[in-house]
Amino acid sequence: MNAFFTTVFGTLELGIVDEVLTEWRHERLLHLHDPDVELAAAILIHLFREGHRTTPSLRDAASRHKWLSEHTFRDIPPYASMADMLAS
C-alpha cells in the first residue's frame, strides 16, 4: 500500500509538523485559531505524507508550496505589538 495512506503520526511526527506550522504562523503574525492556520496545517500534513519527514525537508517543501509561500501578512492594527501577536 502507498506510504501516503499508511503514514502514522506519533509524537515525533506531529512535533515536526507543529514546529514548521508554528514558524509559518509566527512569520505571518496569525493567531492559532485563524482559518488559514488550519489550512496550512492540512497542507503540511499532506507534504509530510508525501515524504518530507524531517523539519528541514518539510520547511523546504513549504517554502516551495505556492499558497504557503505566497500567503501574506494580515492587516495588523497600528497599536498591536509583536508580543501581543505572538501571545495569542
Domain membership of residue 3 (yes or no) is no
Domain membership of residue 59 (yes or no) is yes
Cell of 15: 512535533
Q: List C-alpha distances in Å: 81 to 5, 57, 73, 87.
A: 42, 32, 14, 10
Q: What is the mean pLDDT of residues 12-17?
A: 96
Domain membership of residue 63 (yes or no) is yes
Domain membership of residue 65 (yes or no) is yes
Domain membership of residue 4 (yes or no) is no
The total of structural domains in the chain comes to 1
Domain of 78 in residue numbering reads as: 10-87
65, pLDDT greater than 90 = yes
Domain membership of residue 2 (yes or no) is no
Domain membership of residue 18 (yes or no) is yes
Least confident of 3-7, 46-50, 72-76: 72-76
Torsion (CA) 39, 53, 60, 37 in degrees, nearest 10: 20
DSSP letter for 54, please: S
